[in-house]
Amino acid sequence: MSMLSLRSHIPDDVIAAADSLPGQADVVVIGGGIIGAAAAFHLAGAGLRTVLLEADKISSQQSGRNWGFVRTQYRDPLELPLAVEALSLWPELERELEAPVGWRPTGCVFVAATQKEMAAFAGWHEKTRSIACDARLLSAREVTDLLPSLRGKTEGALYTATDGQAEPALATLAFGRAAARRGAHIIEDCGALAIETTAGAVSGVQTEHGLIRCNTVVCAAGAQSYRLLAPLGLSLPQQSVRSTVSLTAPLPPLSEACFCGFGIGLRQRADGSCIIAADSSSDIDLSFDSFRAARFFLPGLLRHGSGFSLRLGRPFVDDLHQRLAVPDRERAIARRPRIPANRKLAARTGAAVRDLFAGAASIEIVKSWAGRIDVLPDALPVLDAPVEIGGLVVATGFSGHGFGLAPAVGRHVARLATGEAPAAILAPLKLDRFARGTYSAPHAPL
């Protein structure tokens, strides 16, 4: 396999589909991204008969397509305690999972191109210094010392040396394989149609291949979560945006730390290749679903409209076809078409990197891809066991932040699923905050 391969589009035989569907389990996890895989790992470790369902392949969606940042830096203060917990777990993850995950403590730096950006970093630093203990502000001179190849004039930066990076597909697959070794039943190409309940409590999961009876379900289905929760009377104002990412050929050292600034995000990998993307710039592929829960998202869209590109095309046609031809409850398992990268945006991002770093004159984009990020109005996830449905745990809506959080999220999911009281740090992440109107505006643009 090429050294440049991210393994982000996983071969079919990585985790083979089960020969038969188990009729009974203690817990069914819906969703084979890193959140679901981490949850299955910890649930199986707790001795529960665990089934992990994935409508496609493990790590085939956003968990295998993200930037690979593992950061505490500039997190929403409400999410920060979970990020700090997760960061403490990453250094031991390869030993625990018995597999490489690509973890490297390379740090993270957010560079301020304007005084306004620097003021925002300073405000965050002042508010969070008691928990984000390793974060510090850098002067313009210190930025030059840290990033000698950076050409852009800066006002300073926010820097956390103990943050790091990992390889998205490697880490997700490592959790999935480790869960299987602990006895979890991993079933790919098997979507969940509905969560069944009896007398207000979970009683099973109806899949496209049959029913699995269980008393506990973890809904970690990413952008499809709202479809599974709505029939239970649970409203999740969830939308998705399309984010384009590119891989470059190896370059001279540009930034050891994961880098954000001047409109780009960059992660330089161990072989010198770089993951690059436009920071806070996403495509919204309009469909009928775009208008669902629009009132929750319209204020943010109006405030940060320059960061989004509204597109009317194939997704609208596909959505119309599904509404006319596919029964509503089967739409959750409709096979996802290939997600097209925004090639123009990828080219602009490559040019921006070339202009920003002295060592990037020979930049060559090897490949580009896109993923769909499921977002919630406050850009915070739901990590909750809602009281309305006994035996249900919801872990979704990570809004592009879930990769780095996953090691901690998996532990909390297992605790919730086994009946433990939720940790205090999960209080801001309850599902009912949207119905109650107690959520706030996003800490940073979605």
Closest CA to 402 of 429, 370, 420: 429
Question: The domain that contains 271 carries what CATH number?
Answer: 3.50.50.60
Closest CA to 188 of 209, 215, 217: 209
Residue 20 located in a structural domain:
no
pTM exceeding the 0.95 threshold for the entire prediction: no
Residue 19 located in a structural domain:
no
CA angle (82 as vertex; 76, 83 as ends), nearest 5: 70
- Torsion angle in degrees (nearest 10) through CA of 105, 67, 88, 184: -130
Q: Give pLDDT, residue 14.
A: 38
CB atoms within 10 A of CB 182: 17
Residue 106 located in a structural domain:
yes
Domain residue limits at 366: 27-436
Q: Give pLDDT, residue 17.
A: 44
Total number of domains in the chain: 1
Name the residue type at position 240: S
Q: Give pLDDT, residue 16.
A: 40
Cβ burial, residue 141 (10 Å; 0-12/13-18/19+): exposed
Task: Please give the helix or strand (H or E) that residue 294 lies within, else none.
Answer: helix 294-303
Residue 10 located in a structural domain:
no
Under 8 Å between Cβ of 293 and 238: yes
Q: Give pLDDT, residue 187.
A: 96
What are the backbone dihedrals phi and psi of residue 85, each rounded to the nearest 5 degrees, phi first?
A: -60, -45
Residue 187 located in a structural domain:
yes
Q: Give pLDDT, residue 182.
A: 97
What digits encode the pLDDT tens for the residues 328-344? 666 666 656 678 889 99
Spans of the chain below 70 pLDDT: 1-19, 280-337, 445-446
Residue 166 located in a structural domain:
yes
Residue 15 located in a structural domain:
no
Residue 164 located in a structural domain:
yes
